[in-house]
Amino acid sequence: MGAFNDIPDNIRVPIVAIEFDNSGAVTGTPGLLYKLLVIGQMLPTASVEPLTAHRITSENQGEALFGRGSMLAEMLRYARKANSFLEVWAIGQQELAAGAAAAGSITVAAAATSAGTLALYIAGERLQIGIQAGKTPAELAAAIVAGINANTRQPLIAAVNGVDDAKVDLTCRWKGETGNTIHVQANYYVGEVLPPGLALTVVQPTGGSGNPDVGEAIAVMGDEWWNAVAMPYTDAANLAVLKQELLDRWGPLRALDGLAYAAFRGTHASTGTFGNLHNNQLLTVMGCNEALTPPYLWAAVDAIVATQALNNDPARPLKTLPLPGLLPAPKEKQWTLEERNLLLYDGISTHTVDREGKVLIERQITTYQDNAAGLPDPSYLDVTTPATLGYFRYANRVRITQKFPRCKLAPDGTRYAPGQPIVTPKVVRAELLALYRELEWAGLVSNYDDYAESLLVWIDENDPNRLNVHGRPNLVNGFNIMAMKAAFIV
């Protein structure tokens, strides 16, 4: 019996036949190239069909595909500004027909006595609107409408109220709960003030209801491997569907593991309450406080920054990584260390803000908090744990399928001819230990001796074609906390 794949044993014609075998060509484990999927709502001006996947390679591509000013176009623009290298795809959804659009208002309560510039922030985007002295509140309201509508990227449409001509009505471009997270305010940076005499009354957008069904987007995902999903919807029903899909993909048979990134805007109390509604090792939620930038944009930026970092090294902590383009809550509202620590026990990831106002990841955690018995369980606390486990599984699958394709399985001690495509439990065990050494060298696992002692490889008693493996890999942990007591001498 020959040990060849393509050269037949029964050939008699004189020939020198040489085949190639790439099973031993690859040394080490090939890198896993992560892909991010961004899900969001599109506008009627979109040029593509809803519920179709599209690769995004530039900042403004989403505008042409999903409509300028749409939720999804802005998520993609912010994500691509934060990272231009990671592979990104997007699936657009139409608004829910039965939904309602969020609405708010700006009322000019007093006219300006001197000319100036109004710095108006909508969803974290600054609009500069010229304010002239001597104009009536109605004329200033008209100027504000023109200034808002001139920026077609921001998510609100402005119109003068039909009853009060000094009032500007604001309506979200799309229906859904996400419109309620859009924040409107005048002035943000130091030095920005209202023109003298000008007084505004702002009513934040509310009343948005009815998100699209994320299950429709999940159906489009199919069996493609998405390592991360940016999730704009935080309603319980949609998150339940997404979490179940992630758990199915996490399982040993599909092995298409990925993390979902969401964000929540609200007070400290409401954020903690939201976090405690969830308990899933594949969902991470960034608490964005009462930030000016809406949470769906936080989710997109957090997803792409974290995913690129985990692609580089799944075990390395994400702390201090900047989340560019996001405007955090004003300094007086930013959470204290004690408040952020509480949120880390509520399944909420935290951020800090440096002196220049840049947002930095403090600790990216999953929402997993309790085991099946309802008791506290920190085993999946940091996102690096499922990320490292996912790579560990990938590396083992690649090694075995690459090294031992179409092999026969025999018990240890079997005598077989050289070149026979046969593996034994000892052969596979040796290969797994060699791989563990490589992963240890890469800084992903530790304690080789303990792993070697725990590693059991045997042929299944009921199925002689099946090899069973049991081992206890020790994942490398993150250096997040240092405690030191300096017992000084004087």
364 and 233 in a common domain:
yes
For 78, other C-beta atoms within 10 Å of its C-beta total: 26
Q: Could you tell me if residue 407 is inside a domain?
A: no
CA nearest to 178, candidates 68, 37, 293, 275 = 293
Q: Could you tell me if residue 70 is inside a domain?
A: yes
Conformational region of residue 419, where left means phi above 0, alpha means psi within -120 to 50, and beta covers everything else: left
pLDDT at 419: 85
Residue 393 Cα distances to 29, 32, 169, 367, 428, angstroms = 11, 11, 54, 22, 15
Residue 200 structural domain: 101-206
221 and 144 in a common domain:
no
- Among 206, 235, 270, identify where a domain stops: 206
Mean pLDDT (10-residue bins), the chain, 490 residues? 79 88 79 95 98 97 98 99 98 98 99 97 98 97 98 98 98 99 98 97 99 98 98 99 98 97 99 98 99 99 99 98 99 98 99 98 99 97 98 97 94 92 97 97 98 98 97 98 96
Q: Could you tell me if residue 190 is inside a domain?
A: yes
pLDDT at 153: 97
Q: Could you tell me if residue 255 is inside a domain?
A: yes
234 and 379 in a common domain:
yes
Split into its structural domains, the chain has a count of: 2
Beta bridge partners of 322: 360
Q: Could you tell me if residue 335 is inside a domain?
A: yes
For 397, other C-beta atoms within 10 Å of its C-beta total: 12
265 and 156 in a common domain:
no
pLDDT at 1: 53
pLDDT at 28: 77
Both tokens assigned to 162: 């039909």
pLDDT at 31: 83
365 and 216 in a common domain:
yes
187 and 240 in a common domain:
no
Specify the pTM. Answer: 0.95
352 and 285 in a common domain:
yes
- Among 385, 416, 440, identify where a domain stops: 385
Terminal Cα-to-Cα distance of the chain (whole angstroms):
83
At residue 359, what is the residue type? V
Using CB atoms within 10 A of its CB, is residue 464 exposed (0-12), middle (13-18) or buried (19+)? exposed
CB under 8 Å, gap of 24 or more: what pairs does 254-258 form?
254/223, 255/393, 255/394, 255/397, 256/223, 256/224, 256/225, 256/226, 257/227, 257/282, 257/386, 257/389, 257/390, 257/393, 258/225, 258/226, 258/227, 258/228, 258/229, 258/282
pLDDT at 43: 98
Q: Tally the C-alpha atoms within 13 A of residue 296's C-alpha that lie toward its C-beta.
A: 27
pLDDT at 229: 99
- Among 352, 368, 385, identify where a domain stops: 385
132 and 84 in a common domain:
no
Residue 17 Cα distances to 6, 265, 299, angstroms = 9, 67, 57
pLDDT at 2: 58
Q: Could you tell me if residue 218 is inside a domain?
A: yes
300 and 176 in a common domain:
no
Q: Could you tell me if residue 301 is inside a domain?
A: yes
pLDDT at 27: 79
Q: Could you tell me if residue 268 is inside a domain?
A: yes
CA nearest to 143, candidates 114, 106, 172, 113 = 106
195 and 68 in a common domain:
no
291 and 262 in a common domain:
yes
